[in-house]
């Protein structure tokens, strides 16, 4: 453990340090309560051995201040003191101390108090580790709950929350928010001709081609469901959204995935674009506008971009 020895007597500091080093602990020193408080504010420590009678801040005051400073971070504080009366003992424990050793120092008692405190310290280490693991597992779970299993893109759930946030930001900042709704053409026929496994592989490739086209960290592409994808493009004008949509359409066609029932013999994409400049009252309306443009793209022959 990393132990801070706080005592205004150099002789006692040296005596305690000798005992602790025999037990293979790392030792640092402070000469009074104020120094101890500064040390704990600046550095990590696993245990404090604290004298009580000291100039400036005494041991009880320093302990109270340390507990206040490191509220969520417990480490043992053990008093080393000549004050043997019950009142002092109670005062020390209430100030935030965990054990009370008398001076003159009995090395055996110090040694075994350290053994007891180290046991608690190790349990605490274990608890902290499992809390960290739990936190990581929760983060992973949260990430998974917002991702599409097949393509790894964000899923509908994440889209809903990001779109709601970006819509509110666009309203507040009077900025433009564009969306693209993309749909693979004749995908039912693709599945019918090549099977569902190839259909899934096609979705994965298309998803990657779409996400590869995004240039801004604030853009989001998600799998909206089935063979539909939605891109959310904050601070993006309709003309810019259209350019991106064309890039996406070309990228999918350039994959060269054979599709005998499609006009050009390859998998293609139809895209509807819409931009919110304050005219829509909800994210849903914005998506509906892009959806209507997508419908037109399908009507006009597919493999094209239409704007709402």
Ligand X SMILES: Nc1nc2c(ncn2[C@@H]2O[C@H](COP(=O)(O)OP(=O)(O)OP(=O)(O)O)[C@@H](O)[C@H]2O)c(=O)[nH]1
Q: Which residues are catalytic?
A: 227
263 lies in the site for ligand X, by CB under 6 A: no
**Cβ nearer to ligand X, comparing 219 with 227:** 227
User: For ligand X, which residue of 203, 222, 257, 297 counts as binding (CB under 6 A)?
Assistant: 203
117 lies in the site for ligand X, by CB under 6 A: no
Report the C-alpha gap between 95 and 90 in whole angstroms: 8
Q: Name the burial class of residue 62, with classes exposed (0-12), middle (13-18) and buried (19+) by CB atoms within 10 angstroms of its CB.
A: buried
227 lies in the site for ligand X, by CB under 6 A: yes
100 lies in the site for ligand X, by CB under 6 A: no
User: For ligand X, which residue of 226, 256, 278, 301 counts as binding (CB under 6 A)?
Assistant: 226
Q: Which residue, judged by CB position, is nearest to ligand X in the bound state?
A: 199
**Cβ nearer to ligand X, comparing 55 with 226:** 226
Q: Side by side, which strands form the sheet with 305-307?
A: 220-225, 228-234, 177-184, 269-276, 305-307
**Cβ nearer to ligand X, comparing 60 with 187:** 187
In whole angstroms, how close is the CB of 247 to ligand X at the nearest point?
20
x/- contact string, 142-171, with ligand X (CB under 6 A)? --------x---------------------
Helices (H), the chain: 10-22, 33-42, 59-69, 86-95, 107-145, 156-173, 187-194, 196-212, 238-254, 283-299
**Cβ nearer to ligand X, comparing 79 with 224:** 224
Report the C-alpha gap between 100 and 112 in whole angstroms: 12
Report the C-alpha gap between 100 and 60 in whole angstroms: 12
- Contact 59/79 with Cβ under 8 angstroms? yes
User: For ligand X, which residue of 56, 111, 196, 250 counts as binding (CB under 6 A)?
Assistant: 196
User: For ligand X, which residue of 29, 147, 199, 246 counts as binding (CB under 6 A)?
Assistant: 199
Cβ atoms within 10 Å, residue 106? 12
2 lies in the site for ligand X, by CB under 6 A: no
Report the C-alpha gap between 114 and 281 in whole angstroms: 66
Give SS3 for 242.
helix
x/- contact string, 176-195, with ligand X (CB under 6 A)? -------xxxxxxx-x----
Scan residues 286-305 and list those touching ligand X (CB under 6 A): 298, 302
Pair of tokens at residue 91: 């005062």
208 lies in the site for ligand X, by CB under 6 A: no
Q: Which residues bind ligand X (CB under 6 A)?
A: 150, 183-189, 191, 196, 199-200, 203, 226-227, 298, 302
């Amino acid at each position: 453990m990393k132990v801070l020895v706080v005592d205004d007597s150099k002789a006692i500091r040296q005596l305690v340090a000798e005992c602790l080093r025999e037990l293979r602990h790392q030792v640092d020193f402070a000469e009074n309560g104020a120094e101890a408080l500064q040390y704990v504010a600046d550095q990590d420590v696993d245990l404090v051995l604290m004298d009580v009678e000291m100039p400036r801040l005494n041991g009880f005051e320093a302990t109270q201040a340390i507990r206040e400073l490191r509220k969520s971070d417990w480490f043992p504080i053990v008093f080393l003191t000549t004050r043997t009366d019950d009142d002092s003992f109670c005062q020390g424990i209430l100030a935030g101390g965990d054990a009370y050793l008398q001076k003159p120092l009995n090395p055996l008692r110090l040694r075994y108090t350290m053994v007891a405190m180290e046991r608690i310290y190790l349990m605490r280490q274990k608890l902290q580790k499992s809390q960290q693991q739990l936190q990581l597992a929760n983060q992973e779970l949260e990430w998974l709950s917002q991702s599409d299993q097949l393509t790894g893109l964000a899923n509908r759930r994440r889209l809903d929350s990001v779109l709601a946030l970006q819509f509110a930001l666009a309203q507040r900042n009077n900025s433009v928010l564009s969306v693209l709704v993309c749909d693979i053409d004749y995908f039912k026929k693709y599945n019918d001709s090549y099977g569902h496994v190839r259909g899934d592989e096609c979705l994965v490739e298309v998803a990657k081609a779409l996400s590869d086209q995004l240039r801004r960290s604030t853009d989001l592409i998600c799998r909206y469901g089935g063979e539909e994808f939605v891109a959310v493009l904050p601070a993006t004008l309709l003309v810019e959204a259209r350019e991106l949509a064309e890039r996406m359409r070309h990228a999918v066609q350039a994959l060269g995935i054979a599709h005998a029932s499609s006009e050009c013999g390859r998998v293609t994409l139809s895209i509807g674009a819409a931009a919110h400049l304050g005219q829509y009252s909800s994210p849903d309306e914005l998506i509906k506008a892009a959806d209507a443009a997508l419908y037109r793209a399908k009507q006009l022959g597919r493999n094209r971009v239409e704007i709402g």
